[in-house]
Amino acid sequence: MKTNAQKLEIASKITLPAEWAPHKAMWTAWPSHPDLWMEDLPHAQTEVAAMVRALAADGLNGRKGDHVRVLACGDEFVASAKKAIGDVAEIIPAKFGDIWLRDTGPVWAKREGRVVALRFKTNGWGGKYDFPDDRTVGDFIAKTAGTPVIQNDIVLEGGSLEYDGDGTLLTTRQCLQNENRNADLSADEIEEEVKRIFGVEKVLWLDEGLANDHTDGHIDNIARFCAPGHVICQEAYGDDDPNVETHEEIARALSNMTDARGRKLKVSRIPSPGLLKNASGLAVPASHMNYIVGNASVVVPTYGTKSADLAVKALGPLFSGRRIIGCSARYIQGIDQEGGGAFHCITQQEPAE
């Protein structure tokens, strides 16, 4: 058991590179469980393949694409992944519960300039989805990457974190302070743990995420940094958007925040997808914010709505030098069935040394 002094010493050496910093690899997973994906399985595989190809492709001005490392579970799915994307990605046999590696994989950071894998307790998104091997896949990834592991006692998913690489971390109370995650910790204790673990100086808190979000308000669906001091959030698309008030409250809250360096946040907005319903008639927490920033490209989830082109165009000036590519995430998101998530949820970047 580490003493408080030892914990503080570790934290003082930890830094979190921003997502747009250079990557050594991009990790993701191949849909491999017919019992979870049912008839959507081949469609989800097609969408993951398109994302992988977009990330692996070289970009503008000589930017090299990502080295994409794809986990696949079982011989059949190793073979199908190799057939679909083996020419542009490395396929790695592995056991995992499902493809949401942002939450079950490690969060890579740096300690004294060397990459380390931060690991956390996993409880199935507050006890909702307890898939086999989700508790161990993060350690497998870290071992395969050859990065030392730092274990932490807090229950936490990577999708609940957004950081600027300059000392500021953004998250939501709905998730990190939820009783279904860390009921034994107070709000202040959770904030102090987050600062300690990630070596950040300031935590910015938004209240709630999108309606019907089974992750309890993951930040990567609602607000993202594109540079230190500069955040992106959504504006409602259509009068029937189920998150009209939420989008406005997020924008208001962000515009009144300052970061760890004392900068007042600049807020840019892109359109939301608007109202999308799943097979049960519930509004789906689909979001164009669930993009992944690669070395050469930003891959943006689209859902067949008129908002897609507008969102892709709006992101262009915010990630100058990278291609902005819209790719379908309709089946990954589970719009035609029950489910949820997109490209940020299924990836995790490993920073370069």
Predicted TM-score (pTM) of the model is 0.95
Question: Which domains are present in the chain?
Answer: 4-351 (3.75.10.10)
Q: Active-site residue 175, yes or no?
A: no
Quick: pLDDT tens for 2-26. Answer: 444 444 444 458 999 999 999 999 9
Yes or no: say if 324 and 302 are a contact pair by the CB < 8 Å rule.
Answer: no
pLDDT of 147 above 90: yes
Quick: pLDDT tens for 307-340. Answer: 999 999 999 999 999 999 999 999 999 887 666 7
Selecting among 73, 226, 233, 345, the annotated active-site residue is 345
